[in-house]
Structure 1
C-alpha cells in the first residue's frame, strides 16, 4: 500500500516535454554541424580552385594577390596536398613535416574517412589531390551533444532528488500533523474515562476492576504522549534499557493471547542508555505486534538483550512466516505493508525513532520460513 498517491500524468508530461526539448537541441546541433561542415567544404573547394589556377600558371607569371589571400586565409583546416609527381605539401598540421611519411599517410587515410578528397584539375589534366580534415572547431562541436546530454542528465538527477526530498518532507509533515491531531482527539474521551473511573471507585465493586481500568487509562495517556511527540525533537534521559524493555514486554505479555509463548533473556542486569521512554516502548511494542501478526496469533516471541562493545543489542524474534530478503530494506519505507489493513507506517516510525531520535540502528538480522529476528542497536551512555 502506498500512502501517497502517485501523480503519474504530470510526471509523464514533464518527461515528454524534457525529451522533446533534448531532441530539438540535438537536432539543431546536428543541423548546425552539417552546415558548418558544408561551409568548410565550400572553402576548401575555393582553395582547390585557386590552387588549380596557380599550378597552371607559367613559372615566371605573377600569382596575384587574390590567390595569395585565398591561400593565407586558411589557418584552421588541416590539409595535405599530393601533387601529380607525388610531392607533398602540408598546411595547419602542427609540428608535422613532410619527412614524417608514415604519419602523413596515416593522416591521409583519416582525412579520406572524414571528407571526400578534392581532385585539382585544369583543362582535364589532373594536377593534384587535396586531402583535408575537420577543423579544430568542428572536432569540438562533435562532442557538444554528448556534453549537453551529460549536463541534462545531471540537471535531471538534481531535480529528481529535489522532488523526492520535497515529497518525503511533505509526507513527514502530514504524518506529524495526523499524529498530533490524534493525540488531541484522544484527550477528550480520556478525561471522561478518568472521571468515570473515579466514580466507579466510590461504588461497591471489586477494586481489581478499577485498578485494571486505571492501568489502561495510563496506557492511553502514554499513547497520547507518544503521538504528541511525533514531529518534535524528543528529550533523551538516562534509563536502564533492561528495565524499560522488560516493562514493555510484560505489558504486552499480559494482554496477548495465551497461544503466544513469550520469553525474555538478558546478558546484563543493567545497562544505562539515553532514551525517550515513551518512544522506545512504542518501538518494542510495534516490533512485537508485527511478530504476532506474522505468526497469525500463534507461536513464540523472544526478546534478548546483550552488550556488544559500546553498544547494546535488543533482538526481537518471532516464529512467523518470514520476510523475503529483497524486502529487508523496503519494509522500513513509508506505505510498505503486507497487511490488508493499515497504512504501513509502523516500521517507518520505528526506524525514525531508533535512527533519527536515538542515533541507533535497526535492521532485519535474519529471516526465513521459520521466523524473523529484528535487531536494534543503541549506544551506551558515556
Structure 2
C-alpha cells in the first residue's frame, strides 16, 4: 500500500511540475500577447476617436453648407420681392433700393419666367440657358434643383428659378471629395481593422476594408458579421452632404484576432504533446508490466515443476510402503492442487485456450474445495445457483476458477472470526446476454477511497499481502475473457464483487 501511495505521489508531483511549466509558459506568452493587444486596442480607440472627430467635422461642414443654402434661398426671396415691387411701382417712386438688391446678385444663377414659361430675365446663367426663349420642365429639372419662387403680380404670376451659387457648388465639390477621401481612409486603415460602411438599415454596403471579398456576396454571413461588430463596438454615424446617414461598423484588428488564435493553437499543441507523452508512457508501462507478469508466471511455473515432481514420487513411495490411507489421499489432493497452480502460472504467461465449460460444475468444485479449508463454525460458505438449466460458457476453466478462488479467498480473509458466524456467498445468475457470478461477504467492507485501487498490482490492505490476487482476477476476467469485474462495498457492511461474463465470445 505504501508503495502505491509513494508512486502515486511521485506521479502527482511530476504532473504538478509539468502543469506549472505549461501554465508558466502560457502565462508568459499571454502576458506578451496582452501587451501587444493593449497597444493594438489603443490604436483602435485612437482610430475610432479620429474617425468620430472627422465625422463630426464633416457634419459641421455640411451644416454650414446647409446654412449657406438657406441664406441663398432667403436672398432669392428678397430678390423676388424686390422684382415684384419694381414691377408694381407707380411712376415717380424711388426704386433705387430695389434696383441695388437686384444688381447685387453676382453669383446666383437665376431665370424669371411668366406663366407660359417664357423667359423674361436671366442673370449669371451659363450657356445654353442664357440663349433660351422658353424654359421647359425638362430643362428646369436639369438645371434648377430648387422649386421656383412664385411672384404674385395680381393679374399674372412670374416664377423665379435659381441654382446654387458658384461658392456653394465649390463647397459641394470639396465636401464630396472629403467624403470620398474619408471613406477611403476608413476602409484602408493601416492597423488592419475590419470595417464595413452601410446605410442606416444595414442592408446596403457602401464600402468595406480588411474583409474577405468573397464574403461580400453572402448576405447571411455579412449580416452575422455586422451584428458581431456591433456587439463589440458601437457603430460610428456619419452624415453625407446629401443628408444621408451612414453607419461605420468595426471590430478588433486582425493582428489581435490572430494572436488569440495563436494562444489557443499553442495550448492545443501542448495538450496534444502531453497526451502523446501520456499515451506512450502508459503503453510503455503496460508493456513492461505485461513482460514482468509473463516473466514471473513462467519463472514461478518453472521453479515449482521440479519440487512437485519429487513430491509426487515421494507420495508414490509412501503409498507403496504403507498402503493407501486418508492422509496420503489428502496429500495427493494438495499436490494436484499445487500442480494446477503451476499450470495456471504457465497459462497466464501465454495465450489461453477456451473450451465449453459448465459454470455450475466449476462453482461447485470451488465451493467444495473451500468447505474443507475454512473454520465452518465461524464462516458459513454458501452456494446459490439460480438457473434451472446448466450454464455452459466458452472459458478457460483453469484461469476462471483461479480468478474466482482469489476473490473467494479475499472474502474469507475479510471475515473477523472473533465475531459471531459470518457468511460468504457465491451466487450464479444469468440473463439473455451475460452470466453473473456474485461473491459477497459480511466482512469489514472496503472504504470508497480505496475501492478504485484494489485491482492494481501491488495494492493490499493486508500487512503481508502482495496485492496480486485481485489484480490477477481482473486481468483474467477482462483481458482474457473480455468480461467485467465490478465491486460494491462500504465500511462495516461487507463487499460484493461481481464477475460478468459474455455468453458468447
1:165 Cα deviation from its structure 2 partner: 4.2
Equivalent position to 2:348, from 219, 230, 242: 230
Q: Which residue of 1 aligns with 2:470?
A: 347
Q: Does 1:137 align with 2:221?
A: no
Q: Distance in 2 between matches of 1:53 and 1:96?
A: 20
Measure, in 2, the Cα distance between the counterparts of 1:262 and 1:281.
17
Return 5+ residue gaps in structure 2 as ranges: 62-166, 203-225, 237-247
Q: Distance in 2 between matches of 1:372 and 1:35?
A: 64
Q: Aligned with 2:445: secondary structure?
A: coil
| Number of equivalent positions | 349
Q: Return 200-209 or 242-251, whichever deviates more.
A: 200-209
State which of 355, 359, 364 in structure 2 corresponds to 1:241. Answer: 359
Higher relative contact order (Cα pairs below 8 Å, separated by 6+ residues): 1
Matched, 1:176 2:278: no
Residue aligned with 1:284, SS: helix
Query: Residue 219 of structure 1: CA displacement?
Result: 1.0
Alignment of 1:187-336 (within 5 A): 187-204=305-322, 207-258=325-376, 259-267=378-386, 268=388, 270-297=390-417, 299-325=422-448, 327-336=450-459
The residue aligned with 1:5 is 7
* Residue number in structure 2 paired with 1:149: 267
2:494 alignment partner, one of 347, 371, 379: 371
Residues 53-81 of structure 1: per-residue CA shift (max 9 Å, x gap): 9999x968999x9xx989746535599xx
Q: Deviations over 1:79-138 (max 9, x none)?
A: 9xxxxxxxxxxx9742522577xxx9x98996589xxx9xxxxxxxxxxxxx99554404
Does 2:41 match 1:30? no
Assess if the C-alpha contact under 8 Å between 1:33 and 1:141 holds in 2: no
* Aligned-partner Cα distance in 2 for 1:21–1:225: 55
Of structures 1 and 2, the larger Rg is shown by 2
Which deviates more from structure 2 when the two are superposed, residues 167-176 or residues 142-151?
142-151
Rounded Cα–Cα distance in structure 1 between residues aligned with 2:188 and 2:491: 70
Alpha carbons of 1:165 and 1:77: their partners in 2 closer, same or farther (altered >3 Å)?
A: farther
Query: Are 2:425 and 2:441, in contact at CA under 8 Å, matched by a contact in 1?
Result: yes
Supply the distance in 1 between the matched residues of 2:230 and 2:383 (Cα, whole angstroms): 84
Contact in 1 for aligned 2:229/2:249 (Cα 8 Å): no
Match of 2:153 in 1: none
**CA 1:245 to 1:76, structure 2 compared with 1: closer, same or farther past 3 Å?**
farther
Match in the other structure for 2:222: none
Report how far residue 156 of structure 1 moved: 3.2
**1:94 pairs with 2:184:** no
Q: 1:300–1:92: structure 2 CA closer, same or farther, 3 Å change rule?
A: closer
Residues 139 and 172 (structure 1), Cα distance of their counterparts in 2 relative to 1, 3 Å cut: same
**How much has 1:365 moved relative to structure 2?**
5.3
SS in 1 for 2:454: helix
After superposition, the CA RMSD in angstroms is 4.3
* Equivalent residue number for residue 156 of structure 2: none
Task: Decide whether the 8 Å contact of 1:37 with 1:138 is kept in 2.
Answer: no
Instruction: Give 1:249 shift.
Output: 1.6
**More off after superposition, 180-189 vs 234-243:** 180-189
Contact 1:77 / 1:135 at 8 angstroms: preserved in 2?
no
* Larger mean Cα displacement after TM superposition, 363-372 or 307-316: 363-372
Pair 1:277–1:137, CA change in 2 (3 A): same
Residues 29 and 216 (structure 1 numbering): CA distance in 2 closer, same or farther, change over 3 Å? same
- Partner Cα distance (2:464, 2:23) in 1: 40
Equivalences for residues 71-90 of structure 1 within 5 A: 72=184, 75=187, 77=189
**Distance in 2 between residues matched to 1:282 and 1:10, nearest whole Å:** 37
Q: In 1, distance between residues paired with 2:434 and 2:53?
A: 85
Provide structure 1 residue ranges, at least 5 long, that are not aligned to the other structure.
80-90, 118-130
TM-score normalised by L of structure 1: 0.73
- 2 CA distance for matches of 1:253 and 1:262? 7
